[in-house]
Structure 1
Amino acid sequence: MIYISALMQSPLFWGTASEEELKTLLSTVHYQVKKYDEGEVIAFSGDECKSLQIVIEGSVRGEMMDLNGKVLKIEDIVPPRPLAIAFLFGNNNRYPVTVTANEPTVILLFPKQSVIDLMQKNAGFLTSFMNAVSNRAQFISGKLKFLSFQSLRGKIAHYLLELDRHEKGVVTLTKTQEELAELFGVARPSLSRALRELHNEGIIKAEGKNIKIIKRVVLKEYLGK
């Protein structure tokens, strides 16, 4: 199998078997290799999720549209992570977001029956799959909570407080303002203005990527507003 080394690093297969054992295991099930060009849609929101897809090369993004018709990027998915793993089974097993290739991308596709076969043949895969589903459910829950904040200040407050869970009072932004604006679903000038206002009001002190939280209680007041 061409992509065996990459697949062994996937959270679904890591530590479940040796390289030779994994080759043998995969030889017993059906799978496909699919390639996508930059900008090509891999799945539309609402499409039925019929297979387990794992990004092997390149990267993809998940996006959804809000009630105002604005496209919000939920996250980027890089190798060797699976797509929409929490939606493979269940009564409403449909993609919650539209998945698009950010660049030339290679994906391994396992039909649902192959996934069931892997679960029955390898207890390690079954455990890893269940852990991955639980992790995605927790991520989605946090993302929905984040998107429920209607104001830009609420989104900024949530983001900063999440970065500073240990309440050290200082955080370093891991994303550019352009990436943050895309995450928050706003224009970059709007984000810059909001950060500047928080700085001028003495709620935070912004120095490049370093943010000092001065009035934590005020940030908490913005949550849900």
Structure 2
Amino acid sequence: MLYQQLSQSPVFRGISPEDLEELLSNAQFQIKKYTKGDMIAFREDRCENLMIVLKGSVKGEMLDPSGKSIKIEDIMAPYPIASAFLFGQRNQFPVNVTANDEVEIFSLAKASVIDLFMENKVFLTNYLNSISNRSQFLANKLMFLNFKTIKGKLANYILKLAAPDKSEITMPKSQSEMAQFFGVTRPSFARSLKEMEQEGLIETNRREIKIINKQQLIRLLQQ
């Protein structure tokens, strides 16, 4: 069961459960369990293990200068946690990591990760792709957080979903989830969405959004 789960993870994809069992036979690893709300790692804790979610999901959060918690992302099974921060001079967790529900995590020692790099080219390639994708995600997230207004963030989000030429989109999250993603209260998010509709920028129907004035949405990015 364990090796079947791990074979679905991006870092082990393409390696059969049977080959994984043999590959990990001499590796140092643990299976750790957490309950909802448990803190798995604090920001700036040392990252000394490759951690892969086997069951449930976790969330990464950081605090802005005012002390408000901003959710960066949810990480579902079977994805790795902070794989891009296992190496480097400051190999520390960039965010607080908390369990969203009942969670099981596969934790592989850093020394064993290095051994696997030398033993298996597929694992090495997968790992490099994983950390490259994560770096791109974080770069996009930082650009997103740079927008100072809720409308600017919302305009950026809508335009990205609509790229390259859509005029209608479906929001993948509820208003409560979007507010948490933006780091604002739900009433503030709902008010900004309503104002954008009243100003003739968009039309909304539950999660369905139709772009009415794309140029004005683009101008919001500059505010």
TM-score of the aligned structures, taking structure 1 as reference length: 0.97
How does 1:57-136 map onto structure 2 within 5 Å?
57-136=55-134
One-letter code of the match for 1:65? L
Gaps of 5+ in 2: none
How does 1:172-211 map onto structure 2 within 5 Å?
172-211=170-209
Residue by residue, what CA displacement relative to the aligned partner does 1:44-63 show, whole Å, maximum 9, x if unpaired?
A: 00111111100001110000
- Residue 145 (1) aligns with residue 138 (2): no
C-alpha distance in structure 2 between counterparts of 1:38 and 1:207, whole Å: 33
Counterpart for residue 56 of structure 1: 54
Q: Is the 8 A contact 2:57 2:75 kept in 1?
A: yes
Superposition RMSD on alpha carbons, in Å? 0.8
Q: Is the 8 A contact 2:3 2:18 kept in 1?
A: no
Instruction: List structure 1 runs of 4+ shifted beyond 4 angstroms.
Output: none
Residue by residue, what CA displacement relative to the aligned partner does 1:78-106 show, whole Å, maximum 9, x if unpaired?
A: 10000001100011111110000011110
The CA deviation at 1:224 is 4.2
Counterpart for residue 10 of structure 1: 9
C-alpha distance in structure 1 between counterparts of 2:119 and 2:91, whole Å: 24
The CA deviation at 1:29 is 1.1
Could you say what secondary structure the match of 2:152 adopts? helix
Q: Is the 8 A contact 2:6 2:17 kept in 1?
A: no
Gaps of 5+ in 1: none
One-letter code of the match for 1:47? D
Q: Kindly tell me the number of residue pairs found equivalent between the two proteins.
A: 223
C-alpha distance in structure 2 between counterparts of 1:101 and 1:59, whole Å: 6
Counterpart for residue 164 of structure 2: 166
Could you say what secondary structure the match of 2:140 adopts? helix
C-alpha distance in structure 2 between counterparts of 1:167 and 1:47, whole Å: 43
